[in-house]
Structure 1
């Protein structure tokens, strides 16, 4: 008689068991749903289907160990799904935070920086004021002479003015040779018109008897002829 060897039953892994259990459970649930709805009012508890016992992957009733393994597998799946959902939520929150930060940067870039405050303007120089008297006329004439490079001092101007006109800007000499020749000396330093015209200082009034114009023209003439008004002690 030939020696036949029976094939060894295939070994079912835990994954096979879980898959078969899920299929079996789904089939039972469908059967329950179909039979649970009563066909008419006479349906009684006697016609209710018997309780379905869970089976393992090989079709045999599930042992306590199988149920424990299935429970662990189900919890692992549920934990994995929950972790995926949580990770997705965190990722969305991080993405939203990044977008908010980007918008904040964009808004700052759109806001034009404030212009630096302008430096205050330097106050305009206040024009120097001079008294309208002999002292003021001499001082103003000295400032003009200094700017034009004409030598002379306060003492030299004052001394010659007092000798020539006693400080009267409208004084006129009608008796000397100049007067005889028709060109009388006039003003603080008794200047004749031709001399005034030749030595008039630009920037002063073009008038022989004007105090400032008369002093500066006379000082300009004395500087050209005597080196300075300070060197004049008599008629010049």
Structure 2
């Protein structure tokens, strides 16, 4: 029996020094000691039966701290990933908002530019219309100023008649008209011949160039008066008749 006790003592001492490694849980594996009747344990049985190993408080604290640190590290990584994802989403939203703002600003600028161009075009058209109206008014004023005026005397009547004759292609000169007027009426526009054959026939000669009414009506020049006593109308109709019969009033040197 003493041998058995000694052997048991050494076996127990060796067994209690075994360290359990690789256990992730905080609990210790139970090692059961098998006893024989009478409270004695054989050396072989003690060696075969596993012993209960208890962790020290330092070991437990170390394991708990390691797990806590791992959990804390995982939490920080998760928070960092979430923060990064949030920052990326915010950056994308900001970029989208900036792009929309730029597009809106560009559209507003384009509309403003188009409105300015339309206003400039309208102003240019108005300016051109105003200038055209001004030029037209100036031309009208120049034309009115350039309108030829004639004195109300024999010289003026002859000159006005010559201008009308020229526009109508009727030949004649100032001297030819003046010479025949002085011979026929002495320059009196209201002269009338009541003694020659025409007067006897009821169609007396009248006016500066002593034209009978049928001849005046036949050779009347458009644009002049239909009054046979009108100086310009009388001269122009007589010159038209002389051009038809004699080639020109310049060729008439007596009664015609």
TM-score (norm 1): 0.62
SS of aligned partner of 1:178? helix
Residue of structure 2 equivalent to 1:87: 92
Separation in structure 2 between the aligned mates of residue 205 and residue 232 of structure 1, nearest angstrom = 24
Residue of structure 2 equivalent to 1:217: 237
Residue of structure 1 equivalent to 2:175: 155
1:235 is aligned to 2:255 = yes
1:99 is aligned to 2:104 = yes
Greater Cα radius of gyration, structure 1 or 2: 2
Q: Deviations over 1:7-60 (max 9, x none)?
A: xx8xxxxxxxxxxxxxxxxxxxxxxxxxxxxxxxxxxxxxxxxxx99968xx63
**Pick aligned residue for 2:222 from 202, 206, 209:** 202
Separation in structure 1 between the aligned mates of residue 62 and residue 96 of structure 2, nearest angstrom = 43
Separation in structure 2 between the aligned mates of residue 180 and residue 130 of structure 1, nearest angstrom = 37
Per-residue deviation at 1:80?
Answer: 4.6
Residue of structure 2 equivalent to 1:113: 118
Per-residue deviation at 1:131?
Answer: 2.0
Separation in structure 1 between the aligned mates of residue 67 and residue 117 of structure 2, nearest angstrom = 79
Per-residue deviation at 1:103?
Answer: 4.4
| CA-based RMSD | 3.5
TM-score (norm 2): 0.58
In structure 2, stretches of 5+ residues that fail to align are: 1-21, 23-60
The 3 A distance-change label for structure 1 pair 60 and 223 is: same
Separation in structure 1 between the aligned mates of residue 94 and residue 244 of structure 2, nearest angstrom = 101
SS of aligned partner of 2:69? coil
The 3 A distance-change label for structure 1 pair 53 and 203 is: farther
Q: Deviations over 1:196-228 (max 9, x none)?
A: 122122222212211011101100110011001
Separation in structure 2 between the aligned mates of residue 214 and residue 178 of structure 1, nearest angstrom = 17
Per-residue deviation at 1:195?
Answer: 1.8
Residue of structure 1 equivalent to 2:69: 62
The 3 A distance-change label for structure 1 pair 183 and 146 is: same
